[in-house]
């Protein structure tokens, strides 16, 4: 009986010690996880900070480029406005006569004239290609007719040769 009590006490004590050790291990693992998560959070924060600095510098460079571009556009607009004002003051026409070909009875824009010539060239080239295709078709038709005639003559010639061979053999 004392032996069983001693064993049960020692088993209880062992279980108690195991329970304490388990609790300590759980606390250590929680502490380790919190340290790991803190390290990960610090790394993530550093990466975010670096990324933020990089994007901030890119946004700053883009903003400077846009401001420079806006300045260039405004300067160009001022120059164009000044040129137009000078043209109006001097009485120069807005559309110079260089854009037109003057004939006796009418004016034709140079671009319209060039477009008409190019259209005429395309029409002539199309007609030429159609004529070439037609000639090719006629030649192919003639070739097929000659080929059929040659095959017929060849067949007749073979028959005559065979009939002569047959007459000599008799």
- pLDDT tens-place values along the chain, 170 residues long: 445 545 555 677 777 878 888 888 888 878 777 777 777 778 877 777 777 777 777 777 778 888 888 888 888 888 988 988 887 787 765 555 566 667 777 777 778 888 889 999 999 999 999 999 988 889 898 989 999 999 999 999 999 888 888 777 76
* Cα 88 versus chain centre, distance: 47
For 66, phi then psi, to 5°, come to: -65, -40
pLDDT at 121: 93
Distance CA 140, CA 147 (A): 10
Do 86 and 105 sit in the same domain of this protein? no
Do 79 and 120 sit in the same domain of this protein? no
Q: Of 73, 94, 115, which closes a domain? A: 94
How many separate domains does the chain show? 2
Tokens of 18: 């195991």
Do 84 and 59 sit in the same domain of this protein? yes
Among 83, 103, 102, residue whose Cα is nearest residue 94: 83
Do 122 and 69 sit in the same domain of this protein? no
Do 107 and 163 sit in the same domain of this protein? yes
Q: Which residues are 109's β-sheet partners?
A: 100
Do 89 and 8 sit in the same domain of this protein? yes
DSSP code per residue over 29-42: HHHHHHHHHHHHHH
100: which residues sit within 8 A by CB, 6+ positions away? 107, 108, 109, 110
Task: Please give the model's pTM, rounded to 2 decimal places.
Answer: 0.34
Do 68 and 114 sit in the same domain of this protein? no
Do 83 and 20 sit in the same domain of this protein? yes
Do 42 and 84 sit in the same domain of this protein? yes
Do 43 and 80 sit in the same domain of this protein? yes
Q: Of 53, 77, 94, which closes a domain? A: 94
Do 81 and 132 sit in the same domain of this protein? no
Distance CA 110, CA 76 (A): 29
In what helix (H) or strand (E) does residue 109 lie, and over which residues does it extend?
strand 107-109
Do 78 and 152 sit in the same domain of this protein? no
Structural domain span for residue 76: 1-94
Distance CA 108, CA 104 (A): 11
């Amino acid at each position: 009986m004392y032996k069983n009590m001693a064993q049960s006490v020692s088993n209880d004590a062992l279980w108690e010690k195991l329970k304490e050790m388990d609790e300590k291990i759980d606390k250590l693992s929680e502490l380790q996880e919190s340290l790991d998560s803190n390290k990960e959070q610090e790394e993530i924060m550093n990466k975010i900070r670096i990324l933020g600095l990089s994007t901030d510098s890119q946004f700053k460079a883009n903003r400077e480029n846009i401001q420079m571009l806006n300045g260039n556009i405004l300067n160009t607009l001022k120059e164009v406005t000044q040129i137009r004002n000078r043209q109006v003051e001097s009485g120069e026409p807005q559309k110079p006569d260089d854009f037109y070909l003057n004939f006796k009875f009418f004016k034709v824009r140079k671009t319209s004239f060039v477009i008409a010539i190019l259209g005429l060239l395309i029409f002539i080239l199309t007609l030429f290609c159609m004529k070439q295709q037609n000639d090719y078709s006629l030649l192919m038709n003639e070739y097929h007719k000659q080929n059929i005639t040659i095959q017929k003559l060849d067949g007749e010639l073979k028959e005559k040769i065979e009939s002569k061979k047959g007459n000599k053999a008799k």
